Structure 1
């Protein structure tokens, strides 16, 4: 049910599987992954697994979607009869996608575009997009949904455990000495997003098993007894560990309503390297 002809737009950093996006009629902007002079659309021309394999030889660069791609997707929505667009996007602290979509949406004829900076990525963005899709399907009004989305963003928290410090060091996010020492000691950092949407280290543990336990516990610690919630897990080319994280989080937060599972996108994986594990939670208010 979509009487107001509302479209939902996100980007590939939301980590929403293609079949789930199709089920909820979600439009997705692919970010760009570049290896030298080769350019690929995240999740379209290249998969996360392919990115991880190539990272052993060359560190990729990432960039926001082209203006032509953004305008083309707006035109497609208009042609399909949509009149309003909820654009729910990757953190402006890590990408210019939100600003580009907001700017181009303001002047696009025939569409009313409301752009939202999730100040998060992967599971954090995906959880918000899927709840917004539910609101649309329930027939909630445009103004009501636009008021609810910022509250969803504020109530969503995600954590990720990084398997190696190598790629954070190569990307300039940590020093070389720190990376070498951390690798020798099997240090696994847990990262999250700051209020401004930038990556921040929130904990450090030793060993893979402990890092998966800790990342799910951090997400579970955000649960508030008696409140409805959604949970989410994702992995970066590590399906067995992803399944472990999913099982642990479901055990730690048994009162969840929905469990969103995704695969970490090429863009985030380009900064963190393979085998990333994510866990998150989204608290829902009574009127949601």
Structure 2
């Protein structure tokens, strides 16, 4: 049957799909807009399921903070390419995820998926429809809600790194400074007291072996060698902990010294970076071009 341009335009606005895809769906549905839209939705969800196994290591980190400044949500939403990560619909979806996390604090990703966006479709349905529309796998990888008795500091570096600092005491300015530091320097713990004893023991054993093999230490008494080793352990602890690190805005003082002057105490820190820990597929561009050239010759 004949399909009008107006019907195609209407279906495009409803589905976000291409013109030819909309026209085909309308023809198959005998011009019924609702039936065509539903058929396209089901087809899109099927395509989304097929893309679920594809690696999504690009994306964005998103942050939301409560009006009183005492709660914040951080989330990582992934896609396959940085091009899609800059796409408006993808970023709007990611921001909606962070807001839902802040408001509802779901137990896990599955629970998050069942929450509605703006009182409409669920996050999971929206995610799958977005996959169908954009053509890439999209996942909500992780999220966390952070609360503090004083204030929660947040800092977003572009869209790829986000940090949250929970303060037991201190003001907004101090909290934001510390969140900026965490984003930039990436401390593993707040203080040396939080570093697990087995990690410390492992590093100490490495330093003991290094000291024993260093020719400069030949003939030195055991007590002196122990002091050398403990000095290296303290230096390592300062390097990996927030309080021991040189403050990013003034490296002549440590974060601990900055806090003493500014007045504040840190309870916890969270730092997300896009794709951290995801094993990315390594592409050999030259080899891919070679294969395409050989394929074209055979054709």
TM-score surpassing 0.5?
no
Larger helix proportion of the pair: 2
Greater radius of gyration (CA): 2
> Which range, TM-score by smaller chain?
under 0.3
Larger strand proportion of the pair: 1
TM-score (norm 1): 0.22
